[in-house]
Amino acid sequence: MGKAVTLVNQPNNVQNFYPADDNWELKQFPFVASTEIDDGTVVAPQISSNDVTGYLTKMGAENANGADFIGILAEPIRATDVDYAVA
């Protein structure tokens, strides 16, 4: 297995992450509407006025300790997706 390299200021690539038991567990979650997110991005619950909204979004720097870590986005979310404007 080669050394994983992610360039500075670039999104993570899911091929650079290996689960401990080599088994990925893919799940579907509701995401915030109208927000493009690259695959390999760390996602966390959206928080508004100190309340969790029930949707996921990009993990912010304020959660850098990983307390709200949900996972790594396996597929990109794009404006061209049919459900892009739907949470």
- Give tens-digit pLDDT for 17-63: 666 676 777 888 888 888 889 888 889 888 888 888 889 988 877 66
From the number of C-beta atoms within 10 Å of its C-beta (0-12, 13-18, 19+), residue 68 rates as middle
So what's the pLDDT on residue 87? 65
Contacts of 33 (CB under 8 A, 6+ apart): 55, 84, 85, 86, 87
What pLDDT digit, counting tens, does each position of 59-85 carry? Answer: 877 666 667 888 888 888 888 888 887
Domain coordinates in residue numbering, the chain? 14-72
- Higher-confidence residue of 80 and 3: namely 80
